[in-house]
Amino acid sequence: MVINNPTYSDMWQNCLSRIREKTSQEEFIKWFKPIVPVNFDGTTLQLRVPNEAYVYHIEKHYIPFLRPIIYQTFGQKTKLRYSIPNHEHHTQQPAAYPQEANTTPISKYVEQTDTANIKNPFVIPGIKRIVIDSQLNPNYTFDTFIEGDCNRLARSAGMSIAVNPGSTAYNPLYVFGDSGLGKTHVAQAIGMEIKQRHPNLQVLYVSMNKFQAQYTSAVLNKEVNDFIHFYQMIDVLIIDDIQELSGNKESTQNAFFNIFNHLQLSGKQLILTSDKRPVELKDINDRLLTRFRWGLAAELLPPDFDTKVKIIKHKAARLNADIPDEVIHFFAENINANIREIEGALSSLVANATFLGRKITITLAKEILKVYVKFNQKEITIEHIRNIVCDHLKIDQAVFDSTKRTREVAQARQIAMYLCKQHTKAPLTTIGAAIGGKNHATVLHACKTVSNLIETDKAFNQMIEEIERKVLAK
């Protein structure tokens, strides 16, 4: 009886049987079944894999598992070599994901180089680590993200994740809140911190819109598998504006599900941001929604006064701008909408001071707020100004309205007239009539006197700014 030596294909089948016993059906079908042995020369086993993503995935996740199986079947110290169909094509072109037409590719599978010098089994010389541009904004770090009650949960959870990505209970971390409250900033800060602490991890930030565009292009180019494999290799995936997945085609949601599920099961970290609470997300596959709720949902709230002050001071320092406290407080009191608007107002304040040589005062700040943010201030009336002036200068209203002409009272009236001219639309005659029954020439004179004092007397100027702040904080 002639016993034929088994071929390397038979030997590989033997390996596959053992692999099948020890892996899930899904893993086996996805990662091992597509592998084809193409040569074995007694020392090196050459396997054809569908693409570079396989090489990377196998090397990263299965080597300790595969090694004994291959050694027992092919012999101790057997070396592995991979080949990839259309390799020329694959390696000369940068990998397709994630990139957009006419933009710099952010990922490159680096070409397999000389294989003659294989020293260690299971190490593929030349397959260098994939180079990925994480797409993170280096300005979005924890150092520049000011902490307050409004963001403490997201910030602290983010810090824990940065220390142990994928190993905390916060997976995924779902950061939600209204526009401009710092969702992108905190998500990217986590990514930046992870890159610093764990330089070997692949971190990728992508918006849901960009992800969808890439997926659509992958479908058109028949590269969906490459697309999914690329994303499945990421260690920390940050997806901004996840709510954009709503109402998307089943196929896009399925692709995202495959990626999400794979990463989560492999202990990779996912960070999602959204302008909606998880329960408010609509038209998203239930199996995804359930997974979004597995980790931690952290809300970002509008900052309180003190946090706004800290943020403004921090941003002013970065702009090298010296902004008086009362202007900072004025901004903090009057901008309620979001931090992006604070930044816009601050930049234009500084631009006015730098390019137009204007002094940074509450009056300038008010002008800017009118232009740059929804400034919901109620109309300021003459009566309101009179009340504030009397209150601040501790002058009785009845005395203020009387014919009494002591220096303090006369000056209080002048200040009130000046502020009425600055902050109301009332004509000078109306202002004069309402303050001591004076004519418009007296009001003009009062305004001139106060302006001169503001220019020449520092203490007086400070007092006016203080009164003005109270007037505007209506």
- Distances in whole angstroms, Cα of residue 447 to Cα of each of 190, 429, 461: 54, 13, 14
Q: Which stretch binds ligand ATP (CB under 6 A): 225-233, 256-264, 335-343, 358-366?
A: 335-343
- DSSP designation for 28: I
Q: Which is nearer to ligand ATP, 333 or 343 (CB)?
A: 343
Q: Is 108 exposed, middle or buried (0-12, 13-18, 19+ CB in 10 A)?
A: middle
Query: Is 432 within any annotated ligand binding site?
Result: no
Q: Which is nearer to ligand ATP, 146 or 239 (CB)?
A: 146
| Contact map string, positions 149 to 168, toward ligand ATP, x by CB under 6 A | --x-----------------
Paired with 173 in beta bridges are: 271, 296
- The residue sitting closest to ligand ATP, measured at its beta carbon, is 182
271 counts as binding ligand ATP under rule CB under 6 A:
no
Cβ-contact 269, 171 below 8 angstroms: yes
Query: Is 183 within any annotated ligand binding site?
Result: yes
- Distances in whole angstroms, Cα of residue 449 to Cα of each of 352, 381, 456: 26, 22, 11
Query: Is 180 within any annotated ligand binding site?
Result: yes
Q: Which is nearer to ligand ATP, 223 or 240 (CB)?
A: 240
The phi, psi pair for 270, rounded to 5°, reads -120, 135
244 counts as binding ligand ATP under rule CB under 6 A:
no
180 counts as binding ligand ATP under rule CB under 6 A:
yes
- Supply the minimum distance, in Å, between the C-beta of residue 148 and ligand ATP: 7
Q: Is 92 helix (H, G, I), strand (E, B) or coil?
A: helix
Q: Is 330 helix (H, G, I), strand (E, B) or coil?
A: helix
Please pick, from the candidates 55, 95, 146, 271, the single residue that binds ligand ATP as defined by CB under 6 A.
146
Query: Is 436 within any annotated ligand binding site?
Result: no
Q: Is 4 helix (H, G, I), strand (E, B) or coil?
A: coil
Q: How far apart are CA 34 and CA 170, in angstroms?
A: 34
Structure tokens belonging to residue 260: 């999400």
339 counts as binding ligand ATP under rule CB under 6 A:
yes
275 counts as binding ligand ATP under rule CB under 6 A:
yes
Please pick, from the candidates 340, 359, 374, 448, the single residue that binds ligand ATP as defined by CB under 6 A.
340
Binding-site members are 180, 182-184
Contacts with ligand ATP by CB under 6 A lie at 144-146, 151, 177, 179-185, 275, 311, 339-340, 343
